[in-house]
Amino acid sequence: MSDFVYSHIPGDEATGLTLVLLHGTGGDEKDLLPLGRKLLPGATLLSPRGKVLEDGMPRYFRRLRENVFDLLDLRFRTNELADFLARFEGPLIAVGYSNGANIAASTLLLRPEIFAGAVLLRARVPIEPDVAPDLSGKSVLVSGGRRDPIISPQGSVELAQTLRGYGADVTLNQENAGHELTAAELELARDWVGKFAAGLRERTSVAG
Ligand code: MLT
């Protein structure tokens, strides 16, 4: 397995969480670092760059054309990313945008052990798992855009329903926006991640 190019910024012990930042098509490992800092100050930030190039633009998996994914490649890339992430200390929370949100969703479905929770900004159901994943105990925020020409609002609804069907606690937000993110939904994501982190700390200290 050749390694990922990635950014890794250690956080403070008190926060004790790692945000795995997964960029959109054409992005890189630096793109979402400011978002990560905003969502949970003090969290460790880990951001791998997608290894697939589409006309020179990094992505996490191949697509045949817009919205038609190469499912063999998606399966392979999901496992490759999951194996890479498994080397880092958790709990890991995915924060993905667009193509990054799609591979985060694929990781939840194919390798459910990797993420404790996920923020999926503009994602849809990327793949049907052969084995039903157990997502109970995991929390996911799905945020779609009502006018998104790439990920339809229905795509976000189906993703939320699919993840719920496997036991995840899913919050679905539909923004009055297209594929681009809004300041309002980033505030919502910040509140969501803050609550998620507090809940996780509480459960860990009760258990420990
Ligand atoms: C994808 O290919 O993952 C989605 O269509 C989003 C994108 O990257 O344009």
Helix (H, G, I), strand (E, B) or coil at 111: coil
Measured between alpha carbons, how far is 117 from 149 in angstroms, rounded to an integer? 26
Backbone angles phi, psi at 192, to 5 degrees: -60, -50
Residues tagged active-site: 98, 148, 179
Going by CA atoms, what residue is nearest to atom 2 of ligand 1? 99
Q: Which atom of ligand 1 approaches the CA of 101 most closely?
A: 3
Q: What is the tens place of the pLDDT at every residue in 4-49?
A: 999 999 999 888 899 999 999 999 999 999 999 999 999 999 999 9
Q: Which helix (H) or strand (E) holds 140?
A: strand 139-145
64 in the Ramachandran plot: left (φ > 0), alpha (ψ -120 to 50) or beta? alpha
Q: What is the dotted CATH code of the domain comprising 6-207?
A: 3.40.50.1820
In the structure, what pLDDT confidence band is assigned to residue 117 with cuts at 50, 70 and 90?
very high
Between the CA of 208 and the centroid of ligand 1 the distance, in Å, is 41
Q: What is the tens place of the pLDDT at every residue in 17-26?
A: 999 999 999 9
Backbone angles phi, psi at 155, to 5 degrees: -60, -40
Q: What is the tens place of the pLDDT at every residue in 87-113?
A: 999 899 999 999 999 999 999 999 999
Q: Residues near 182 by Cβ (< 8 Å), separated by ≥ 6?
A: 175, 176
